[in-house]
Structure 1
């Protein structure tokens, strides 16, 4: 149809529509005689006008889309030049347009009411959508940019142009995980919740109105099309547009033409959630196996079912409740639309709190063992056994309090974290055992060790201090119980950053062990095995090696009796061989440790994860970085399950993965991983834990490898600042940022600045064995700085020893060898 023909039809329609039937018939006969085609179009429009099927009030002719008769490509609308048509809705077309005024480039989605949609109701509805968008400012809602009236009196508005795919297409094409799908739907819910808070119901939520834009690493949800939205405070909210809907996603009340509310959007979200998670629309019954691309849990099905209840009053009261239920499922918390039974809640708590669950299970086992032990002793020494039985009863009551703390009947339905559980048990010990210092001190040191494992170092320090003081009052300071307590507290002090105090206490424990414990006993060996922890921290690997060799016959001859402590010994042997560069022996012992720990702890366990992490580090030491990566990743994933993302053990494995990436020359992946580690660490611990220095140092080293020396300098300077603030001035850990900063500066030709840092790094490492790789590294950096400052005589011995070491491992140290040769030094 030509535009001229449409104008003629439009004129005739308005002339004929109000005529009485007789006059209308006569006029139509005339039209039929003169132009049969126009007559047919008029008959169709007049019939449509008499039907009750219109979406809106007004003449049928006002709802005919004539846009194709009047193409708009290249037409200026306000400050925008239309490029092409990209979509069409009930009453408006959407065009891609580009700003031509204002002095900057901008692409927009320009919505223009269709030709023919000229009724007052249609225009009012179109302007209503523009008004709604103007009041919604949310990152997940396409924002309004501009609006106005064309020269032909047609309203228009420009929105943010969203380039992407609808949520179903995006998830299908990217094959994203269940959790990532839920994260996307939570963003949708967040946008809908914002609209509801602004008293706006969308009423047309569907996948086509939910776009995913941005890159694959950080997808962004954008909610579109508020064309049939309802403002809840309007006096006549249903005056028009009652039947305008997308039937596949519309709520039952919308289908019945009844009034709508926020509950209608909740129903639509339920439909979208079902289709997103199962790959099928609920009308096809998402429970059928052949209609489920991704199996979903009964809890998620319960969430969908509640959102899609026919009766609006049976749905979630608001979208926030729907969001909370999804988040609860993702965090392994109870989903109350599925079940409120205590056993279900307990199961969810145990899955979520593996450490606390272990404490509870350990409590049951401990109680059983104690009862058996003390029942046996009752047969032999009545009076003594009665006293010990009383202690056993007290211990059982303490451990029982831990179990009761997770009973919903006792805790009034409040779910306790592992920390909360330990806090309750510690308070119970201090209150109920005030008159029994021996039992109280023995239990408090156990609680202190648990606090340390939960990275609650201040609590661990305080509780262990009380335990030691209580036991000292008993004047039984030559027993293994007391000596072992000192050894435990020494490690707690070290982890709390009190290095000198911790080492002094360890020396005290070792001295007592040497004087009062049987040299060949497992108790004697246990204290010395703890001592190797401090030697490892202070990089006294040779000394640790001599102690481990002394302990070897004790553990090998008492393997069964030693039990899990034997496993610890094997692990320490492997890690210390790795530190001393005896890689073949390290590999043997670490794989033995992995075999032992997996046999003793099937499934996931920290000892398994720790061994995997050290195997990764071993392969990095050997220059086999690609082999190291999967071990580090497995250790990290296991610790995520055990501790969650923010625990120091988890972050250590995460950092180890980054180091492996760096060694494998996957530098961008390494840098990105370190950024993740830093973000998690700072959110959880701020800058007050000394590990921040080590993480920053390793992160800076990646930029050294990238030859981005100024960036490396910035990061490593921050590492050194934290290290000097949080560590003793002579702590060997400070040598790492000192050497790193020296390397960053010398690589920029700033040798005068670099030399002082290089000298300090070497001074801290000078006590290490001559063939220690860290000492060699410090000497290499110092030698390079000295040589470039024309102090060749001082540099020569450092460079000569470093070159000899590097030539023994040419595959790994080819760059260092080349740098030394580049000085003219042979």
Structure 2
């Protein structure tokens, strides 16, 4: 391995010597093995944002250290959850020193927060439940944190826990195919397999174990290892000693019952296979405890289900004085619920097992480093699942849907469609019918069909999914919100603005009524953004105002999810462009573009859109060379995602034609305009508003080539017609052209 040259002055320099544009370093927050973390302020166009700025340490300035630092940035970019401190920015400073900027969390360690606020058992369980949800989100994206501990979980003044520091996190496929030096794990929260293997080749079970230690400590005010404190004593306890049930300790909080004992001890079992299959399963059991339902950790205990049932319903049972027959009926209903819970658990375990085995099979060195890409592994997954007749259809369908979503996120749309279609076929044959699984399959297939330009096919799938809710066969609220959002967007794409607006308003109403749910705020904000984009052409000023208000609300609520906030800012830039305020638009879009490159990578469709908007802003500000480069890059990104003939790809080419008009390159403008008009005619869109606008642009170019010819000016005025029929950027350009022709309104 060749070492990267050490940058002594940059690495050792005090804060004032670090040259990082748009950042002001305030004070040091902490130091670790990988680097130094500072509280900093990031300058935005009209505000200053506090961030936690992590810079790689001089001792880590090697190819290996830089690779680990870049991996942390990639991992954070893939995570988007309200209980995870979000990635804000990343890159290198003027000295070439790598940095990562994340949301700054002004909070207290979770254990100290609970003590200071004297939280009871249920409040503590709810707090850890939110942390488990964040870890489950990471696991669903194949990320293992590996260093869960109180210092990495801060609780804000509003009582919201935030998970920090993915510095030693790994993706599951990296765990399966790479090896590194000793782990920087914290011993007190390490799982037995981490201690035995020094952190190498571990899976999601290590995070489950650490969550178990955290839960134990929050409930018992004591470590599961008792008085053990030195490294040797801790290793002995971790590997060999079974912790006492927390309810038996003198320091335990009132209200810790046998169910919580069982949950803690299941998470803390020595063998990974004996623990919960993942954080999602632990989360589900915590939710059952909060609902006073039977917990999976005690499944199989004689008489437990009946005792749990009676405990949950004793007031109703006593008041009704029901007899044995009624008890039998309700026990039957309870059994159905338990069977459904077990089916969901089995699906989750199958998901974890399927992907773990898939990654293990990737060990052979089929590339120089023995690594294969996530895309290749997912495509193998789809092929295997379609051929596997041993797994139950519902499990195979769930696994195929997970693969489809991941492939779609990676931009592999054709493979995602194959996986989603196979999942739908399997879901249709599940007995007894699983309406939620079927609706989810319709939704995912609709999403990939839309990305392939098949709007009619997408709409059929959306309507089929919504019909399941109307018929009472599906019931998951958040899934219904997703389908409603897709239905409104389909109407928008079809040009039915009124239907789209009504659809978005329904999403706002449904999601707004459930803002207490974990994902509801994101859905609510997304619907507000869609309402803004729906109004973009007719009333860009109203759209800009709605977007600014949505961004303000997101800041107030501490909402930091880049996948929602980056598109919101992009649409704000588009609204400002439509208002003819290109300088303001570019001030919004240029910093956004840098963040989008870091967050999305080189081939994401959202990057294509942001490149397009930034290019148009540069064009309207007479930065023609930069505009052409950005629009050309946008066309390439969009073509890689959707194909050369997709309307989105052609839209970038249309913008390049209009750029040539703005730049005054009349021959190139005519060449590009004629090519676009020919494509629209061939596709039966020769009468579309876009085609009419390009004809107006062509008339303008002809008139500019022969300014002395009054008939060409008259032809331009006739082609444009009434200015009221144009909206947005088209209106801005038409007004310019009419002004030149001497007939500006």
| Equivalent residue number for residue 172 of structure 1 | none
Q: Which of these residues, 444, 456, 463, is aligned with residue 400 of structure 2?
A: 444
Contact 1:674–1:699 (Cα < 8 Å) also in 2: yes
Q: Which of these residues, 136, 142, 146, is aligned with residue 360 of structure 1?
A: 142
Give distance in 1, aligned partners of 2:475 and 2:360. Answer: 46
Cα 1:346–1:450 shift into 2, 3 Å: same
Spell out the pairing of 1:1-150 with structure 2 (5 A cutoff).
Answer: none
Cα 1:373–1:720 shift into 2, 3 Å: farther
User: What is the CA deviation profile of residues 664-699 of structure 1, one whole-angstrom value per residue up to 9, with x for unaligned ones?
Assistant: 343343223223434566688773654331111111
| Equivalent residue number for residue 739 of structure 2 | 818
Cα 1:596–1:430 shift into 2, 3 Å: farther
Spell out the pairing of 1:719-798 with structure 2 (5 A cutoff).
Answer: 719-720=676-677, 729-730=684-685, 735-736=689-690, 739-740=693-694, 743-744=697-698, 747-748=701-702, 788=715
Q: Which of these residues, 723, 729, 741, is aligned with residue 802 of structure 1?
A: 723
Say whether 1:647 aligns with 2:568. Answer: no
**Greater Cα shift, 346-355 or 615-624:** 346-355
User: What is the CA deviation profile of residues 646-669 of structure 1, one whole-angstrom value per residue up to 9, with x for unaligned ones?
Assistant: 222112111111111223343343
User: What SS does the aligned partner of 1:435 have?
Assistant: coil
Q: Runs of 5+ in structure 1 lacking a partner?
A: 1-265, 280-285, 302-331, 752-783
| Equivalent residue number for residue 583 of structure 2 | 626
User: What is the CA deviation profile of residues 417-461 of structure 1, one whole-angstrom value per residue up to 9, with x for unaligned ones?
Assistant: 342453455456556674311122233223223222222111111
**Structure 1 position 570, deviation (Å):** 2.5
| Equivalent residue number for residue 73 of structure 2 | 351
Cα 1:397–1:479 shift into 2, 3 Å: closer
Say whether 1:577 aligns with 2:535. Answer: yes
Contact 1:645–1:680 (Cα < 8 Å) also in 2: yes
Contact 2:657–2:672 (Cα < 8 Å) also in 1: yes
Contact 1:398–1:428 (Cα < 8 Å) also in 2: no
User: What is the CA deviation profile of residues 34-70 of structure 1, one whole-angstrom value per residue up to 9, with x for unaligned ones?
Assistant: xxxxxxxxxxxxxxxxxxxxxxxxxxxxxxxxxxxxx
Contact 1:478–1:512 (Cα < 8 Å) also in 2: no
User: What SS does the aligned partner of 1:578 have?
Assistant: coil
Cα 1:516–1:720 shift into 2, 3 Å: farther
**Greater Cα shift, 568-577 or 585-594:** 585-594
| Equivalent residue number for residue 420 of structure 2 | 464
TM-score norm. by structure 2 comes to 0.52
Contact 2:579–2:732 (Cα < 8 Å) also in 1: no
Q: Runs of 5+ in structure 2 lacking a partner?
A: 21-31, 36-55, 80-137, 145-203, 205-277, 289-293, 300-304, 310-333, 706-710
User: What is the CA deviation profile of residues 765-793 of structure 1, one whole-angstrom value per residue up to 9, with x for unaligned ones?
Assistant: xxxxxxxxxxxxxxxxxxx999639xx9x
| Equivalent residue number for residue 566 of structure 1 | 524
Give distance in 2, aligned partners of 1:439 and 1:731. Answer: 48
Higher relative contact order (CA 8 A, sep 6+): 2
Q: Rg larger in 1 or in 2?
A: 1
Give distance in 2, aligned partners of 1:421 and 1:633. Answer: 35
Spell out the pairing of 1:473-622 with structure 2 (5 A cutoff).
Answer: 473-474=429-430, 479-516=435-472, 524-561=480-517, 562-581=520-539, 583-584=541-542, 586-593=544-551, 595-596=553-554, 599=557, 602=560, 605-622=562-579
Give distance in 2, aligned partners of 1:806 and 1:505. Answer: 32
Cα 1:699–1:480 shift into 2, 3 Å: same
Spell out the pairing of 1:679-690 with structure 2 (5 A cutoff).
Answer: 687=644, 689-690=646-647
Give distance in 2, aligned partners of 1:449 and 1:514. Answer: 25
Contact 1:696–1:716 (Cα < 8 Å) also in 2: no
Q: Which of these residues, 650, 656, 678, is aligned with residue 693 of structure 1?
A: 650
**Structure 1 position 373, deviation (Å):** 5.5
Give distance in 1, aligned partners of 2:614 and 2:459. Answer: 30
**Structure 1 position 739, deviation (Å):** 3.4
Give distance in 1, aligned partners of 2:699 and 2:433. Answer: 53
Contact 1:408–1:414 (Cα < 8 Å) also in 2: no
Spell out the pairing of 1:272-283 with structure 2 (5 A cutoff).
Answer: none
Give distance in 2, aligned partners of 1:598 and 1:456. Answer: 36
CA RMSD across the alignment: 5.0
User: What is the CA deviation profile of residues 192-230 of structure 1, one whole-angstrom value per residue up to 9, with x for unaligned ones?
Assistant: xxxxxxxxxxxxxxxxxxxxxxxxxxxxxxxxxxxxxxx
Say whether 1:376 aligns with 2:332. Answer: no
**Structure 1 position 390, deviation (Å):** 5.3
| Equivalent residue number for residue 389 of structure 1 | 342
Q: Which of these residues, 706, 710, 713, is aligned with residue 663 of structure 2?
A: 706
| Equivalent residue number for residue 227 of structure 1 | none
TM-score norm. by structure 1 comes to 0.48
- How many residues get paired? 471
**Structure 1 position 607, deviation (Å):** 1.3
